[in-house]
Each structure stands twice: as C-alpha cells, then as structure tokens.
C-alpha cells in the first residue's frame, strides 16, 4: 500500500486564495481579450468566492440550520 505524502501548509487558505486571485487578475490584464484571459478572470472570481465561503463557514455567528 502506498503511503500518502503529507504537506504542512505554511500559509492559510485565505492567503493562498487571495494570492492566486491576484496572480490570475494580473496575468489576465497583460493579455488581449481571448479565451485564456476569460478563463483567468473566471478563476480569479472563483477564488474570491471560495474566500467568501471560507470566511462565512468560520464566522463566529454561523448557526446550524433549523
């Protein structure tokens, strides 16, 4: 049986998502309108949405559905 490789994350998920979103937006700014540019902007939006969901999940006011 193969052993799973473990990797200890140094930065938080929020930091990694923010960095990836910024990188995608910067790369998209340098491109002319194209499919690649659209995909980069979409990925940046997805990362920002993931940041919002993560913040909501870990917010102190979160309550279980009733």
Mean pLDDT value across the chain? 90
Is residue 23 within 8 Å of 47, Cβ to Cβ?
A: no
DSSP per residue over 4-42, as a string? PPP---SS-HHHHHHHHHHHHHHHHHTSPSSHHHHHHHH
Band the pLDDT of 48: cuts 50, 70, 90: very high
Residue 44 has pLDDT above 90, yes or no: yes
Average pLDDT over residues 2-29: 93
Report pLDDT for 66: 56
Average pLDDT over residues 15-38: 97
Question: pTM to 2 decimals?
Answer: 0.78
């Amino acid at each position: 049986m193969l052993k799973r490789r473990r990797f200890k994350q140094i930065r938080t998920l929020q930091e990694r998502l923010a960095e990836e979103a910024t990188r995608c937006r910067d790369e998209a700014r340098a491109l002319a309108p194209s499919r690649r540019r659209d995909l980069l902007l979409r990925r940046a939006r997805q990362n920002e949405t993931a940041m919002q969901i993560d913040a909501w999940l870990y917010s102190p006011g979160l309550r279980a559905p009733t």
